[in-house]
Structure 1
Amino acid sequence: MIMKNVKMVVSDMDGTLLNSNHNVSSRFFELFKQLQQQQIQFVAASGRPYYSIVEKLDSIKNHIIIVAENGGLVIKNDKVLLSNIINPNRLSELYHLVTNIANTFPIFCTKDRAFILRASDEKIKTFSEYYSIYTIIDSFEEITDDVIKIALYHASNSESYIFPHVKHLKPELNVVVSGNHWVDISDAITNKGHALSFLQNNLNIKSSETMVFGDYNNDLEMLKCADYSYAMANAHQDVKAVANYETETNDDFGVEKVLEHLISESGNN
């Protein structure tokens, strides 16, 4: 496989670049310096909010592009390049729907904070790994900002226990199983693929010059935007079916091993 034409690398975070302890490896940060030297743009693309991605990649935040909230936000150097919100006129209806799904915990995600419906301290601790800046609410009226995404959490399995209750919202809204515990609801055009296409057009980078890593169904659209599309070994079967290649798990440095190959080839360009 010839990788020397790659100009942009895009990676999902949870289950992909982050290990099972939600950490980015020192090995990646060393490789990032080499990507910079070879003028390869790095993009972090996640269902996480912008501020959470920044926390994980703080030392390089000024040198990367961040696609947050499954493509609802695209930010570079604190400048918002793209923002898609859920129609405010639909929020009350959606609030009523998602707060009545059994054993499901909704989080209303805005650019700068999350609004979390009151839950146990244990659940709030779980959510704060992803949504570290948050306000606990008891009613719809307490949501004071434009909502980019509604994240729904189920302790055992989101695909079985949440998705059947919200799938009817498609195609007017984008509804995606984004993890074993999560289902996300966004504006209809919001997905990581739409955000990546936006960047490719703006940076004049082709799919043949793009490398993407992902592990779950919210990565499907962006994997289709890259010739060098990689599913993690720990990925959902839908992701493996779409990706052109497979790498090792997120705990076995799957992303880093491919980047080492890329850097080696690019250096010989």
Structure 2
Amino acid sequence: MKIDAIVFDLDGTLLNDKKEISRENRVALEELRQAGIKIILATGRNDVYVKGIVAELGGIEAIISCNGASIRRSYTDEIIYSQFLDKASVLEIANHCFTGKFDFTASVYGAMYCVEYSRRVNIFHEYNQQMPKAYRVPVKVMQSAQELAQQDVLKMFIWQMAGREQSVFLEAFHAAAITVVSSENGGMDVSHAETSKGKAIAIFAERYNIPLHRIAAFGDYNNDISMFETVGYSVAMGNASDKVKTHATYVTKTNNEAGVAWGIKEYLE
């Protein structure tokens, strides 16, 4: 089959549970590069939280971050697409989270915002301890919803909101210009209503004249389904949920078994 580009989710897909890229996956990516196949990363992470991985791997064509709210060309660092939450939605959602004392973060270009009482922020502190200074994630503490609403926010992430609280949130904001997806267990990603990984792939493909049917995608979580619905070939990880697997063309091994490398060799060569 003819493939021009492959899109990879990061957490639970290209990365194992230790947040590492296996030797097998590295070799597979290098072979793709040598074959002239474009490599694109598509993640729920802020793109500043991806730059260290991109520098480590090299040869990445583009970073689709914040579930499709941003597309950055890796070689030139050019931002070719952005979709920000409208400031009224940011203000209302942030006020809701501050009032309920919910642990939430917000992604902007070049930094992560968190609340003063955040426990989620520890993942960024741990990441920064392992990274050279140039690739650390700047973390800023927001004191009010009004402060955050002054920023251009790509995505908000609400962590460990209980089931009933999630229902209240979704009911309160069902008419807002937002989309809510899950990129990990226990988390809700809030983005502009027109944002998805699938849409970002379509925008990238149109700009660089790549037929969608000649693009493949690997993923493991609900926020990857839009990718599967957009590209010609989709591969769900073995650790993906049954729901995600039903949307995929193929199912590979788990992220802890170098499922990316196995899936490329088994299905896409």
Using structure 1 for the length normalisation, give the TM-score: 0.87
CA distance in 1, matches of 2:80, 2:48: 16
Inter-partner Cα distance in structure 2 for 1:162 and 1:239: 25
Aligned counterparts of 2:157 and 2:263: Cα–Cα separation in 1: 31
Aligned to 2:153: 147
**DSSP-derived class of the 2:190 partner:** strand
Amino acid at match of 1:259: I
Match in the other structure for 1:116: 114
1:239 aligned residue = 244
CA shift for structure 1 position 186: 0.6
Runs of 5+ unmatched residues, structure 2: 128-135
Which residue does 1:187 correspond to in 2? 192
The alpha carbon displacement at 1:28 in A equals 2.1
- Partners of 2:244 and 2:99 lie apart in 1 by 30
Residue of structure 2 in register with 1:107 after alignment: 105
Aligned length: 256
Matching residue within 4, 10, 14 for 1:13: 10
**Corresponding residue number in structure 1 for 2:91:** 92
Equivalent residue letter for 1:213: F
Alignment pair present for 1:39 and 2:36: yes
CA contact 1:74–1:81 (8 Å) conserved in 2? yes
Out of 11, 15, 25, the position equivalent to 2:22 is 25
1:118, 1:176 → 2: CA distance? 25
CA contact under 8 A between 2:39 and 2:59: conserved in structure 1? no
One-letter code aligned to 1:35: L
Describe the SS at the equivalent of 2:181.
strand
One-letter code aligned to 2:80? L
Partner AA of 1:182 in structure 2: G
**Secondary structure at 1:36 match in 2:** helix
Is the 8 Å Cα contact of residues 233 and 246 (structure 1) preserved in structure 2?
A: yes
Q: CA–CA distance in 2 between the matches of 1:204 and 1:233? A: 31
Task: State the one-letter code of the partner of 1:147.
Answer: V
Corresponding residue number in structure 2 for 1:134: 139
8 Å contact from structure 1 (residues 54, 61) kept in 2: no
* CA distance, structure 1, for counterparts of residue 257 and residue 165 of structure 2: 31
After superposition, the C-alpha distances for 1:227-268 in whole angstroms (9 at most, x for unaligned) are: 2111111112221121121111100111111223467x3xxx
Task: Quote the Cα distance in structure 2 between the aligned partners of 1:185 and 1:68.
Answer: 13
Verify the 8 A CA contact 1:175 1:184 in the aligned structure 2: yes
- Could you tell me the percent identity over the aligned residues? 26
| Distance apart, 1:61 and its partner CA | 4.5
Deviation at 1:41, TM superposition (A): 0.5
Summarize the alignment of residues 56-75 of structure 1 with structure 2, pairs less than 5 Å apart.
Answer: 56-61=53-58, 63-75=60-72
Report if aligned partners of 1:166, 1:175 keep a CA contact under 8 Å in 2. no
Contiguous gaps of at least 5 residues in structure 1: none
CA offset at residue 114 of structure 1?
0.9
8 Å contact kept, 2:120–2:159: no
Q: Give RMSD over aligned pairs.
A: 2.2
Q: Normalising to structure 2: TM-score of the pair?
A: 0.87
